[in-house]
């Protein structure tokens, strides 16, 4: 870490390590940072500011002990585009850690409306910004504020030393948030389409599975007695072993049990130590015996009508006076009869047939 003393380097490294360990997302990173950085150089008020450069607004995370009020933030926003730190970092994206006094002498700064209406209001006189991310639309910085004295050159150097690692942790935290949101959207999609999930470990033992997935597997592999902790049947283990070298999109397999066809799609688990199996059902061939192509019963039509109205399984069950599990069974029959794999497709097929 450059010209810092051995002790300062050690303290800076511990600060970065502590923040990295606590940053499970952008919000936890922000909360941990506003507590850790004042311990590094000392500050009366520290925030993580996410500035929207087009609108001139900012979102602020501060310590609960001294959080900025909505009125404080609104006051700052009135001077957003004239603020020395905002102007410096938008004009110099690679400018690094910067104090107000690096752009404007203290005496001149105290004559500004920004100081009179905002900084005097919140009770501080000096500020230094540690930018983590900047592009044409967004500026993200830790901002440390003081009352009694300005940040000296050694403190600025110390903050600059941790800026690069903190910027990397921030990017990783944002990536984690994005990954979680993507997974949540994906789960919502495949649940709406009638898929269920089974997670297995590297030895093909079931880590977790929902009831419908286990029920479908029991139909496809009768007598296997599958449950959490059990190992998949040898045929499925062999299939997963053969699939291991395939693309990240995974592999698919169909298992026929009379008129029912259970479909399995396999993807490597996110941690790389097992598999995610998505289990669904599609109708058998047209000439196979069973329900494919059969008309919906009155109760199945009722269930589908309430689903089309946006009701959940539990809500439809309450309206019809039956259990949520019974609703799910009716929907499973509806999927087979309409030749679809999920509730959204079933509603669209039913509407098209009216």
- What is the DSSP annotation of 201-222? ETT-BEEEE-HHHHHHHHHHST
Q: Is the pLDDT of residue 111 over 70?
A: yes
- 170-180: buried (b, 16+ CB within 10 Å) or exposed (e) per residue? beebbebbeee
What pLDDT shows up at residue 4? Answer: 77
What pLDDT shows up at residue 270? Answer: 65
Q: Is the pLDDT of residue 272 over 80?
A: no
Encode pLDDT of 203-213 as tens digits: 999 999 888 88
What pLDDT shows up at residue 192? Answer: 64
Q: How far apart are the first and last CA of the chain?
A: 71
d(CA 169, CA 21): 10
| Tokens read off for 70 | 């909505």
Pick left, alpha or beta for residue 339 (phi over 0 → left; psi -120 to 50 → alpha; otherwise beta). Answer: left
Smallest CA-to-CA distance from 99 within 143, 50, 48, 38 is with 143
Cα–Cα distances (Å) from 26 to 20, 30, 34, 36, 168, in that order, read: 11, 6, 12, 15, 12
pLDDT mean over 191-199: 77
What pLDDT shows up at residue 164? Answer: 95
For residue 289, name the pLDDT band (cuts at 50, 70, 90).
Answer: very low
Cα–Cα distances (Å) from 39 to 129, 158, 169, in that order, read: 16, 12, 19
Chain position carrying tokens 């990783």: 172
Encode pLDDT of 45-57 as tens digits: 999 999 999 999 9
Alpha carbon 158 to chain centroid, angstroms:
32
Q: Is the pLDDT of residue 25 over 60?
A: yes
pTM for this structure?
Answer: 0.65
Between 71-80, 93-102, 254-263, the lowest mean confidence (pLDDT) is in 254-263
For residue 293, name the pLDDT band (cuts at 50, 70, 90).
Answer: low
Contacts of 2 (CB under 8 A, 6+ apart): 157, 161
d(CA 115, CA 345): 60
pLDDT mean over 70-78: 92
Residue 226: Cβ within 10 Å count: 21
| pLDDT over 70 percentage in the chain | 89
Between 3-12, 181-190, 259-268, 286-295, the lowest mean confidence (pLDDT) is in 286-295
Q: Is the pLDDT of residue 147 over 80?
A: yes
Contact 57, 80 (CB under 8 A): yes
Contact 44, 144 (CB under 8 A): no
For residue 126, name the pLDDT band (cuts at 50, 70, 90).
Answer: very high
> What average pLDDT does the structure give for the chain?
86
Q: Is the pLDDT of residue 353 over 70?
A: no
Residue 340's Cβ-side half-sphere holds a number of Cα atoms within 13 Å equal to 18
Rounded (to 5) percent helix, strand, coil in the chain: 50, 20, 30
């Amino acid at each position: 870490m450059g010209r810092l003393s051995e002790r300062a380097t050690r303290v800076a490294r511990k600060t970065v390590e502590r923040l990295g360990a606590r940053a499970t997302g952008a919000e936890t990173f922000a909360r941990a940072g506003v507590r850790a950085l004042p311990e590094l150089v000392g500050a009366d008020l520290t925030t993580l500011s996410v500035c929207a450069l087009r609108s001139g607004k900012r979102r602020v995370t501060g310590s609960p002990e001294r959080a900025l009020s909505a009125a404080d933030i609104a006051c700052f926003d009135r001077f957003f585009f004239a603020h020395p730190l905002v102007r410096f970092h938008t004009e110099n994206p690679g400018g690094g850690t910067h104090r107000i006094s690096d752009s404007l002498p203290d005496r001149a700064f105290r004559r500004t409306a920004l100081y009179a209406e905002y900084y005097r209001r919140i009770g501080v006189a000096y500020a230094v910004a540690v930018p983590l991310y900047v592009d044409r639309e967004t500026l993200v910085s830790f901002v440390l504020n003081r009352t009694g004295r300005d940040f000296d050159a050694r403190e600025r150097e110390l903050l600059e030393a941790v800026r690069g690692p903190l910027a990397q942790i921030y990017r990783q935290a944002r990536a984690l948030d994005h990954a979680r949101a993507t997974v949540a959207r994906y789960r919502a999609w495949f649940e709406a389409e009638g898929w269920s999930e089974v997670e297995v470990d590297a030895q093909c033992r079931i880590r977790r599975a929902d009831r419908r997935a286990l029920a479908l597997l029991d139909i496809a592999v009768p007598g296997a007695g599958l449950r959490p902790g059990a190992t998949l049947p040898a045929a499925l283990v062999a299939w997963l072993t053969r699939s291991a070298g395939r693309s990240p999109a995974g592999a698919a397999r169909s298992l026929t049990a009379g008129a029912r066809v259970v479909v399995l799609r396999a993807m490597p688990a996110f941690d790389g130590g097992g598999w995610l199996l998505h289990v669904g059902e599609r109708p058998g061939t047209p000439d196979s015996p069973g329900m494919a192509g059969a008309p919906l019963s009155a109760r199945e039509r009722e269930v589908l009508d309430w689903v089309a109205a946006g009701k959940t399984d539990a809500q439809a069950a309450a309206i019809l006076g039956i259990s949520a599990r019974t609703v799910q069974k009716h929907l499973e029959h509806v999927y087979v009869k309409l030749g679809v794999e999920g509730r959204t497709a079933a509603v669209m097929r039913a509407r098209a047939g009216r």
